[in-house]
Amino acid sequence: MKTKYRIITALLICLITLFTGCEKINTDSPYIQGLSIENYPLIDGSTSTLPLNRVIACELMGLNYQWQENKSGSSGSTTWSVEPKARGSLRQKIDRRVLSSQTHNSIINLIDGTVDLTLSARSLSPDEREYALAQGVSVIETPIALDALVFIVYPRNPVEGLTTENIRDIYTGKTTKWSELGVEVFPDSPQYSEIYPLIRNANSGSQELMDLLIMKDLEYIDLPEYEEQLIFTMAGLIDAIAGNPLAIGYTVYYYNKYIIRPDKSYLKTIAIDGVEPDEQTLANHL
């Protein structure tokens, strides 16, 4: 069978560490003469890369855009999005060419040839590679930036940091109470201390990174018992943590920094192995 090569897949690859560098987009880049929404490639991607996807499109086509705050769930938590300053048919055309089908679906769309390129916070998963092989498709992965896996909790949870081993113990069920980690979420009601670990669905970008960087070959806590903790969207995870002082979850740095914006939301980012996920430590690859 003749191998089919898809147009380069741009991936934001997490290094095999918890935290890595992250750089802001260069907004001074000139637009490409002659590029319009009519001939712009179909670009799909993960939830976390949608702002970048839109910024790239707007910059290359000379369109204005702005960051917009949006209410994301019943808990009152908010997220931020990049919105092109375009109306009517132009905005509809942008939305048809700049897509966000989530990580796994966008990669499958690329393999199937329904899009030209995809932006993702991770590399292909084993089952996606198998699918590409079965379709006779060779996907070219090109790193264009760095990202990181970060852990988030309710803002009034007093925990400031955990170790990688703490995280593994939580997600395997070995540690089930915050008090076992020396954390008193409700000092006046110590009986309320059960950890509520939130888990993303398989093939989501953050879940694949959690598997690769933290859990490796370890088995997760029994999902039938904790099926409520299985979250199918990043917005759902944010809302769940924002409404539960005992919860813990994970996301990628770019999403946390620019879409969740912990300083403006109902979430808190914690240190792992003594390393705070800020711009300085990320730039130093700590």
Higher pLDDT, 166 or 16: 166
Q: Which residue has the tokens 């997760």?
A: 220
Query: Does the pLDDT of residue 18 top 50, yes or no?
Result: no
Amino acid at site 255:
Y
Per the CB < 8 A criterion, the answer to whether 76 and 96 are in contact is no
- Distances in Å between the alpha carbon of 34 and those of 31, 60, 76, 239, 276? 9, 10, 43, 42, 44
d(CA 239, CA 74): 7
Higher pLDDT, 112 or 238: 112
What values do phi and psi take at 238, rounded to 5? -60, -45
Those residues with Cβ within 8 angstroms of residue 196's Cβ, 6 or more apart along the chain or in another chain: 229, 244, 246, 247, 248
CA 88 to chain centre: 30
Coil/strand/helix, residue 278: coil
**Which tokens sit at 267?**
């979430």
Helices (H) and strands (E) in the chain, counts: 9, 15
Instruction: Report, as an integer, the average pLDDT of 234-262.
Output: 87
**What's residue 1's pLDDT?**
52
Query: Does the pLDDT of residue 227 top 70, yes or no?
Result: no
Instruction: Report, as an integer, the average pLDDT of 26-32.
Output: 57
Is the pTM of the predicted complex or chain greater than 0.75? yes
For residue 7, what is the DSSP state? S
d(CA 36, CA 176): 54
Confidence label for 230 from pLDDT (cuts 50, 70 and 90): low
- In this structure, whether the domain defined by 149-283 belongs to CATH 3.40.190.10 is answered with yes
Q: Which helix (H) or strand (E) holds 13?
A: strand 9-14
Ordered by start, the domain boundaries in the chain are 4-147, 149-283
pLDDT digits (tens, 9 = 90+) for 62-107: 899 999 998 766 666 778 899 999 999 999 999 999 999 999 999 9
Amino acid at site 126:
P
Per the CB < 8 A criterion, the answer to whether 190 and 218 are in contact is no
**Could you give the maximum distance between any two Cα atoms of the chain, in Å?**
68
Confidence label for 181 from pLDDT (cuts 50, 70 and 90): very high
Q: Which residue has the tokens 């934001």?
A: 12
pLDDT digits (tens, 9 = 90+) for 188-199: 888 889 999 999
**What's residue 185's pLDDT?**
93
d(CA 128, CA 196): 30
